[in-house]
Structures are given as C-alpha cells and as structure tokens.
A and B are shown apart, each in its own frame.
Chain A
C-alpha cells in the first residue's frame, strides 16, 4: 500500500461533465431543469493503484463510472485510454470494453435472471474472443479467484438461487475473466458480508499490486476506502470537493462535507459521540450558485453563496474545494474545531 512506484496512466478523464435534463415539478408546459450529475471531474487511473471515490447518494459516482465505462455519453470532457484520445461521442468499441470493465452496484440487476451463471460468465468471454474450449476453464478460474468453491456449483446456479453476496462475487469474476487493464467497481462490496469483504478488498488490492490493474473503487464505506486506496476522492453534487493521496483525507478531513462523512460512520466504541447536523437532504439542497454545499454547511459565509470555490491546497497532495482554506487563519480554526477522537484507539 505504498505510494512508491507510480505506474503508467491507463485511463485519464479530463473535465468530464454530464448534465441531464429532467421535467420540473408543477408540470407547467413541460418545463425542464438541468441536473448537473457530474461536473468538471478530472482523474487519472494508474496501473497498480486504487483510486477510491466516496460521496453522498446522488453525488454522481455511478454516472462518473458509467462515463468512464462509456455506457453514458459525457456532455463534455475527454477520455484518454493508454495514451490514445477517445472520441467520446462515438459508440463504445469492443476493444475499449475489453480494457475497461465495470462491476455494478446491484448484483440482482446485473445478471440475466433467466440464465445460469455459466451463460452469464461464458457469454462475455466468448464475445471477447475466448475459444469455446477455453472459456469454461477461464470462468472456473475466475470464480476461484473470488472464493466461490466449488466453481461447478455456481456455474450451474441461476441468479435467484444465490445470496446477494455470492451473486456479487460472480459479477466481479465476470469482469475479471476477460483480463481488463482498468476495473471500475461501483460499490462492489456493499452487499457482501464483512468477512468476505476483506477478502474482496484484499483481492482488489492484490490485482493492483500483482497484476498492475488500475482500479476505481466507488464506495460509501469510507473505512474500506482508507484500507485499500492509494488516493481518495470525495464527491458532492457532481463535483470533487476533496482529494488526497494516502489516508490524510480520512485522518484529517478538511472539507465540511468530508467532516460530516467521516463522523457519520457507525462507531459503537463511542456511543455518546456527537455527529454534526446532516443538514437538509442534498437532493433538495444543492445550491444553484456558489458552493454547492452551502445550504447544509455549518461554516457557510456570505462569499459561499455567491462564488464557487476553487480547490485549495490544504496539505501535501491534499486539496479541498472550500473557501475556508482561501486564507490560512480560517483553515487552522476549522481543523481544530473538528479534529475528532484524537488519541483514541481503533474499535476492535
């Protein structure tokens, strides 16, 4: 888990943006409103590294992952796969799909319910060129990699015969079996049991360290992000609001939203703790102007309602998109007021 050897950038995203036009309530004359699902997001997925994305429900993580997988067409922005610019408005090619694989959030929705697992696994293998003779062995090997034993039992099962966790491991196996360079994992462990989770996290980490995969790991479990990621990105309302290499973002969150996020993690070791107000629901409370977090922010200032903050450097390889860090004094004050659980030991 060191930051030592930085590999080649496998997939680079520049200023990715996706807006959706939705009908507004009131139903007057089909009035429409623009949802800025992802706004101006840039990131590099590097061979041998895990980039974790955490953020509010609806903050645009899945839309981002789908744009990177080229299932959703960006409104604007650029993608560069292994140095080659991609024509983002054109159709996704098979070659792209074989390099960049997406594992979805909901395993129940991602498998064809009328087919056995063998079909669900062998089909992508065949599409990506495995011979009829080789495909079953590759599928079995992939199932073993995600600890589904014996593989034959799982190949014969239908989706409804497996538990949620078993099904999610099959979908990871399905993505791995065609040997992609980039794995986009959209909440891959959220439905897994904790004991198996660690196995999958260690597996993802191993795929990075040993097979030099570039991994985007989307999660709401910030402890798991801290556990495997080389860098962590926090999204809010379609934008990156804080990012850091290593764990500094979790250890010393700077953005008020990240501070809320970290404090919301269940922690039975501290039943009397204070959790900051969660504010209004983001879906109602995304500001159209200024900082998008301003309707919920306990530190909101006049400026926040008018101008959108840029990302300020708040530490080594650590930035925060918040006006509090525009001048040093305010920054120090917030860091002090929110430092939590100093010196406390981990729970178990």
Chain B
C-alpha cells in the first residue's frame, strides 16, 4: 500500500479497548442493524462472493462463490496455490481491486462495533468510495503482497509516516508526528534512525516491518496481511510474527493472514481456509487441518514441505501444475491432479459442505457418504487436539 492511498479524515484514538466503538466516528455509517442481521462477535462476514477479471466472454472467474467469516480478535488463515485467488479475494473485500477485476456477486459485511444505537455494520460491496475511505486504514488495513516494492523509493522512511499522519492527524505538530513515527517503529523493533533512511538502504525485513508499522498507524480492528513474511528469513519471521501477535494481544485486532506456508499458518491461525482455483475446498480449525486434513489438495500441500530431519529423498509434492482459470477442468477442478479422483469427479463439482458432527467443511466427493466410496485412511485421521502454539509468548526476550 502506498501511503497516498490512505485517505481517512477521522482518526481513531490509540487507546481503544478491543471491540469497542471509539468516540470518534468512522465516517458515514451505512447501516445500523438490530436483530436478525446482527453480527455480534463476528467482525467480517463474506457470503457467496465471486470476482471476475474481465467482462463478457473474456471473463475469468478468480474467486468463485466463497464464504468466509471471522470473529473479533481471531486469526483466519488463507492457504492455497499460487494464483488460487487469495489476494484477489482480500482486495475485492476491501474494494482495492482494480479493473479489470469486478465483483460479480455476494456480500461482504464488516462490523464496526456496537454503541447505544446498536451495531454499526458497513456493506463493503455497495459502499461508496467516500464511505470506504472512512473505513480503510482506520478500521481495516492491509499489508500488500508486493510490499517490498511498495515503499516510495525516493522518499525517506520518516517522510512516509509524516505524510500519513499529516493528512489524518491534523492536530499533531511536526514533533509529535516524528515521535509517533518513532514509537511505531519501536513497536516493530526498529531504531528511530531508520526514519532518516531511504527504502533502498534497508533490507527486506526492515522494509516489511515498516509496512506493518504503517498499517498499524491508525489502530485498525482488522489487519489483513498478504504474505507479510514470505520474503524474510525464519528468525526475522519468528520475531515479526512474535511482535505482531504481541501487538494483537495489546490492541485486539483481528487478522486475516495469507501465506503459502501451511506450517506457519498452523502455528498462528485459529481457523484455516484452503483455496483452489478460486474456490474454497476446505475449512477447519488450524490443528484439525494440520493433523487431519480431509481434502486431497490440503493433504498434498502438507506433504510438500521438505523435512528438517531424516534422509533426503526426492519429494514430488502435488503432481501437475495449477489450472488455467480461463480453462478450468470440468467437475472438481482438482481432478486432473488428484490421486483419488473417481468417475463422478470429472463431471460434477463437489459443493463445500459441513462434515456431519463437526464444525468443519470440505468440498470433495470422497466425504459425502456415497455408498461404495471408502475414505482413505490418510483423509480420515482424527485430530488429537494438542496444545496450540502461542506465537506471542514463545519469543523469549
């Protein structure tokens, strides 16, 4: 996100209790709801959401009928193949999607919080640019995948914070802005002297920390991180994740975390959704997905990590390559790569359905209880529900 795209007039005070609606307004509030449509603890509710690139017969469906939701202060992980539509989904939800990307259907409701008048919910799909500006960065902020090149190369780091704060915190003096910027850098473990540097003088990790600090400038309720640590070394990743989760513990924001690294995602997410070719193929708690995947693609992903121990053997991961969205295979789009594919899979698309007696869902014909279809053991394991890893407290200091 380049800093010039932040355009919020109202600024949230720094000490907002998690979940509460701050006294400063969020700009125009689109709907005040009670009763049925109330969201309660749910902060984001996305339903039947579809996104195309292009129009008419050239349209390519990049996000297909996706449902995702998350509760306040929780972490949703999005995993999936390169090109599966993860970035498109979050850009579309936050309405940062550029032409030829178009939202083709569905809804995305964001819960700003509750006060005397009830819940304040914004319909992100239909909100105007002006309404969106009231929400973006102050309520929802996003660290883009291309962040390594997103900082303006000819502007010193300090000036980038300066620009944001100058346009959103008109009450602040130059000295206050400088010390706020220094405090934000300190939050992500960087020394104040980085403010005087140009981005090209910093390493990737330093720039990524700066992007995270910029995203937290206006104290949002939902932070979306699109591959925030992918280009970093593991110790820095460990530090940044630790810091991020400490900040989350303090500030209470919810998070959508997109990464290819299922191991990392398993450690930090509460719930994980797996995307394939624009659609959700599996949704489960992080531990269940890791220990007991149900979808053959999820299993393939988990088997794609070279181990840190033992003999070196050649791994094949998932055979084939990601599908061309313009020419998706019929039926289950994973069937040409699926070792378990059956006749039915080549012409009928499996819906995402809840697995009976659980709060997880999968889109695969193996799991619909068809007579004569035996679920392979590797796709019917039972999770033991071991203790969850705590990314925040685990970093000893």
B107-137 CB contacts (< 8 Å) to partner A: none
- A57-B236, A193-B82 given as contacts; is B308 within 8 A of A223 (CB)? yes
0 or 1 for each of B9-34: is its CB under 8 Å from A? (1 = yes): 00000000000000000000000000
Residue interface bits B66-87, CB-to-A below 8 A is 1, else 0: 0000000000000011111001
User: Given A106-B149, A277-B397, A56 and B231 touching (CB < 8 A)?
Assistant: no
Determine if B190 and A223 form an interchain contact, defined as CB atoms under 8 angstroms apart: no
For residue A22, CB closer than 8 A to chain B, the reply is: yes
Q: Which residues of A sit under 8 angstroms from B302, Cβ to Cβ?
A: 348
Is B309 interfacial (CB-CB < 8 Å)?
A: yes
Q: Are A150 and B205 in contact (CB under 8 A)?
A: no
- Residues from chain B with a CB closer than 8 A to the CB of A24 are 193
Known contacts: A191-B231, A220-B237, A264-B234. The answer to whether A57 contacts B310 by CB under 8 A is no
Interface string of B130-167 (1 = CB under 8 A from A): 00000000000000011011000000000000000000
B358 CB within 8 Å of chain A: no
B340 contacts across to A, CB distance below 8 A: none
Decide: A265 and B309 in contact? CB cutoff 8 A.
no
Which of B41-49, B316-324, B369-377 lines the interface with chain A? Answer: B316-324
Does any Cβ of B come within 8 Å of A36's Cβ? no
- Name the distance in Å between B350's Cβ and chain A's nearest Cβ: 20
B239 within 8 A of A: yes
Given A105-B148, A165-B83, A220-B237: A195 in contact with B312 (beta carbons within 8 A): no
Could you tell me how many residues of chain A have their Cβ less than 8 Å away from some Cβ of chain B?
Answer: 76
Tell me the chain A residues, 122-181 only, with Cβ under 8 Å from chain B. 147-150, 153, 161-166
In the bound assembly, the distance between CA atoms of A166 and B307 in angstroms comes to 25
Q: Let me know if B344 is at the binding interface, CB within 8 A.
A: no
**Which residues from chain B contact A240 at a C-beta distance below 8 Å?**
none
Q: How far is the CA of A38 from the CA of B373 in the complex (A)?
A: 59
Closest Cβ neighbor of A278 among chain B residues: B239
A227: CB under 8 A from chain B? Answer: yes
Collect the chain B residues with CB atoms within 8 Å of residue A164's CB: 82, 87, 145-146, 227
A-B pairs with beta carbons under 8 A, tally: 211
Partner of A346, one of B290, B307, B318, B322: B307
How far, in Å, is B355 (CB) from chain A's closest CB?
21
Q: B389 and A271: CB pair below 8 A?
A: yes
For chain A, residues 291 to 317, give those with C-beta under 8 angstroms from any C-beta of chain B. none
Interface centre among A195, A277, A278, A345 (most CB of B within 10 A): A195
Contact flags (1/0) for B280-309 with A, using CB distance below 8 Å?
000000000010000000001111111111
Q: Give the complex CA separation of A24 and B309 in angstroms.
A: 44
The distance from the CB of B265 to the nearest CB of chain A, in whole angstroms, is: 8
- The contact string, 1 if C-beta is below 8 Å from chain B, for chain A 317-348, is 00000000000000000000000010011111
Interface residues of A in 189-232 (CB under 8 A from B): 190-199, 201-202, 220-224, 226-227
Is B36's beta carbon under 8 Å from chain A?
A: no
Give Cα A347 to B309, complex, Å: 9
| B191/A283 in contact, CB under 8 A | yes
Q: Within the assembled complex, what's the spacing in Å between the Cα atoms of A106 and B397? A: 31
Other-chain residue from A224, A226, A264, A272 in contact with B235 (beta carbon distance below 8 A): A264
A191 proximity list for chain B (CB < 8 A): 82, 145, 227, 230-231, 260
CB-CB under 8 A for A224 and B234, given A109-B148, A166-B82, A193-B81? no
Q: Which 6 A-B pairs have the closest CB atoms?
A: A165-B82, A57-B205, A25-B193, A346-B307, A220-B233, A58-B203
Can you list 11 contacts pairing A with B, beta carbon distance less than 8 Å? A25-B192, A105-B148, A108-B148, A194-B301, A220-B231, A223-B306, A226-B312, A227-B306, A261-B235, A266-B261, A271-B386
Q: Please give the residue numbers on chain A whose beta carbons come within 8 Å of chain B beta carbons, in ascending order.
A: 1, 20, 22-25, 27, 54-59, 62, 105-106, 108-109, 147-150, 153, 161-166, 187, 190-199, 201-202, 220-224, 226-227, 247, 250-251, 260-262, 264-268, 271-272, 274-278, 281, 283-284, 341, 344-348
